Structure 1
């Protein structure tokens, strides 16, 4: 990084307008480049309090280390951009590494894992007007639905409003839907084929138009079911990575099979590339790009 952490702190303390200035002069690019495929590195985890990677509970808490890993990932051929909350995207703007890269703002979620209000997923991150003002290229929201929790109705309503607000600005919005249920110890996303199918159907119908809606989807528990599951919608989709543990090769193989399906346009992957179980960031990113 050409700018150090003390430099970032100094700019933020003395010249906060530098963030808007960097956003205004950033060179943008189309969402989907000439390859027709999309590779986005995700780093919106810290704002959800999700700092752990494997058995390292605070792995993502070191901001200097996280930014260095993101800079390495963004420098690799085939990486199109980054998904993050305002604090991280603004650090990357000041570092100058978002030139000709896709900047995807996370609307984030208020329902923190393990909290008594976990399913109250009102948005706490970027608003559509922020994404437009900062000249970012897309947004992302999480849509968790628990049929036994009345709070999910508020989540559906606010998600539909976000779809409309982004579409009115002609900005793509990546919707990450799950059917979730309460279990001992917290909520769990159902990755069964039927549950993912239903979540796709619900997410695809949100808002007054789906023209700018993309889906961000997990690979189902049975990877062979993905072809039938993805027949549920004609919306373009990207695969989410999630935490893959130590079976990195197994994850690559699941992604490779799903990437052959016609609606799948690419991947949005975070911790498994930024903090790989084996090897370094460069190798993990290059391997994932190779799957495309």
Structure 2
């Protein structure tokens, strides 16, 4: 379960996190649609609070815009979080994107070239990469993209776009690549087009474990 403190604490009180991996989300300050969206400050968990709460892993978002002056500060904050996670031996997922504004909206670039660039930047963040993981979208030419890193990788689910079978096939091919260890899937499984949440979860689990 990946979430902010309000979600994870409620689930912990209910006892439903027992026996499950709990991952804390760190930076949620870059509100969608805001003029400061790229200035994605760390307003949720920090590393020390996750260690005190005995969470299993951390997660941070790194959106990199070459034409936005907030990007250097965001990269510095991400690097500091990676360094602190390594010091505390807390595994951390870095979710990097090359991003830019289109009609006042932040849009992520899902081309293989952009993902390779984001991987190169994210992999070098912090004083140590010993506890760093990557959380990457499944893109065309995924094999070439993954050649850009030796870090362990989890795959984003993305949107089904009306083609669940095609999406599952893409996931399956990507999961077979070296360095890929699983899926981190949210709304794709929670809100499948046919409404069958259990069926969607079973299909994803079969890809990972089968």
Q: Same fold (TM over 0.5)?
A: yes
Structure 1 unaligned spans of 5+: 1-81
Cα RMSD between the aligned structures? 1.0
Distance 1:240 1:97 in 2: 23
Aligned counterpart for 1:209 among listed residues 128, 149, 154: 128
Larger mean CA deviation between 211-220 and 238-247 belongs to 238-247
Aligned counterpart for 2:48 among listed residues 102, 116, 129: 129
Query: Which contiguous aligned blocks of 4+ residues in structure 1 show a shift greater than 6 angstroms?
Result: none
Aligned counterpart for 2:82 among listed residues 144, 160, 163: 163
Aligned counterpart for 2:39 among listed residues 113, 120, 134: 120
Distance 2:41 2:161 in 1: 29
- Please list the CA deviations of residues 173-194 of structure 1 after superposition, one character each: whole Å capped at 9, or x if unmatched: 0000000011114111001011
Aligned counterpart for 1:246 among listed residues 162, 166, 171: 162
The answer on whether the counterparts of 1:84 and 1:105 sit within 8 Å (CA) in structure 2 is: yes
Distance 1:108 1:95 in 2: 25
CA deviation after TM superposition for structure 1 residue 100, in Å: 1.4
Q: Which has the larger radius of gyration?
A: 1
Q: What does residue 100 of structure 1 align with?
A: 19
- Please list the CA deviations of residues 195-218 of structure 1 after superposition, one character each: whole Å capped at 9, or x if unmatched: 000100110011110000000000
Aligned counterpart for 1:198 among listed residues 108, 114, 117: 117
Distance 1:160 1:93 in 2: 29
Aligned length: 208
Q: What does residue 63 of structure 2 align with?
A: 144
Considering Cα pairs closer than 8 Å and 6+ residues apart, tell me whether 1 or 2 has the greater RCO.
1
The answer on whether the counterparts of 1:178 and 1:199 sit within 8 Å (CA) in structure 2 is: yes
Structure 2 unaligned spans of 5+: none
Distance 2:57 2:5 in 1: 13
Distance 1:283 1:90 in 2: 28
Distance 2:66 2:12 in 1: 40
The answer on whether the counterparts of 1:85 and 1:108 sit within 8 Å (CA) in structure 2 is: no
